[in-house]
Amino acid sequence: EADIYQTPRYLVIGTGKKITLECSQTMGHDKMYWYQQDPGMELHLIHYSYGVNSTEKGDLSSESTVSRIRTEHFPLTLESARPSHTSQYLCASHGTSGPNEQFFGPGTRLTVL
């Protein structure tokens, strides 16, 4: 079982609210990722980080933002949620050396009304 955590697991909020999805890992991994996934569908990379103070946008454009102030923590923020943001958000990490697999958190299922 991978030591990567996401909170909340489920979130239902109204349009216009600001939200932050939390992701933490205790493995000391320097590389972390956020994916967006509609139910039963493919994963789309929206943000990634290769270390503290390093963040990049992924392949899918997203209105969310991320920060990486500490190695273990990679939160994702939506300043003003909209129904189009309704989706599952998955966080992942992997270590520095070698072709290591990514470890995934359990996901946050977000519903914006």
Partner 1 sequence: AQSVAQPEDQVNVAEGNPLTVKCTYSVSGNPYLFWYVQYPNRGLQFLLKYITGDNLVKGSYGFEAEFNKSQTSFHLKKPSALVSDSALYFCAVRDKGGGGNKLTFGTGTQLKVEL
Residues found near partner 1 in the complex (CB under 8 A): 6, 31, 33, 40-43, 45, 48, 50, 58-59, 90, 92, 94, 99, 101-107, 109
In whole angstroms, how close is the CB of 42 to partner 1 at the nearest point? 4
Which of residues 18 and 60 has its CB atom nearest to partner 1 in the complex? 60
Query: Smaller CB distance to partner 1: residue 90 or 112?
Result: 90
Q: Which two tokens stand for residue 68?
A: 């990486």
Q: How far is the CB of 33 from partner 1 (least distance, A)?
A: 8
What minimum distance in Å lies between the beta carbon of 21 and partner 1? 13
Helix (H, G, I), strand (E, B) or coil at 111: strand
Residue 23 exposed, middle or buried by CB count within 10 Å (0-12, 13-18, 19+): buried
Q: How many CB atoms neighbour CB 66 within 10 A?
A: 24
Closest separation in Å from C-beta 16 to partner 1: 26
Q: Which is nearer to partner 1, 9 or 82 (CB)?
A: 9
Q: Which residue has the tokens 């299922």?
A: 109
Of residues 59 and 79, the one with the C-beta less far from partner 1:
59
CB 29 within 8 Å of CB 52:
no
Question: In Å, how far are 28, 42, 57, 104, 112 from 101, measured between CA atoms?
Answer: 14, 18, 20, 10, 32
